[in-house]
Structure 1
Amino acid sequence: MKAMIYCERNESGGHSFYLVTQGREYFLFNQKYRKGVQAYFNKGVPFSQAMNYSKTHNDSALVRTMTKLPMYIRYIEKEYEIEIFEQTKKHNSKCYHFNEMSCA
């Protein structure tokens, strides 16, 4: 299953962002409500499109939200030992560690 990011309105009127991957849901962060962010992330966005700045149409709130995502996703990767980014998958692969040990 591909990773997906979506937001919901929370009881305080802001957004709560979630990452869904491998059938599990992970909380990312909360932020204040912005109409453009709600329109983009409301139905869920595939991970590959979640940080695509060309889709922002110069919406500064959407750009700021997309800038936050990598930091929170890296935290989730470490906390729950999952792999979302290709860089993390490459780093955790056996071939990477084998080459690292042979070079030292």
Structure 2
Amino acid sequence: LHSASKSSSSSTGHVGAMVIQNPRYLVTGLGKPVTLSCSQNMKHDAMYWYQQKPSQAPKLLLYYYDKEITREKNTSENFQSSRPNTSLCSLDIRSAGLGDSAVYLCASSRD
């Protein structure tokens, strides 16, 4: 599994609003668990995880509003997530497969 994450400032109009993902790059073996973490400094209620495969648009996997998670219909149960507090959110891949090789993007918003 090759995974890359992108960090960017959110477009909320607030100077200094930022989303940071770790690790930035990750290579792991098949069948291994993977955890990607995301933090944001504006205490936004909503946080989102997207998966982007080569030559494709980002696909929403799941999102949180406050502590309530919503999974998209076609999101595999292999993808899990937790949000221990307003600022942090993780994406867990229980068992990495070839089809999971992608760029994973985290975003946040007030609503």
TM, length-normalised to structure 2: 0.27
Higher relative contact order (CA 8 A, sep 6+): 2
Structure with greater Cα Rg: 1
Indicate the structure with greater strand content.
2
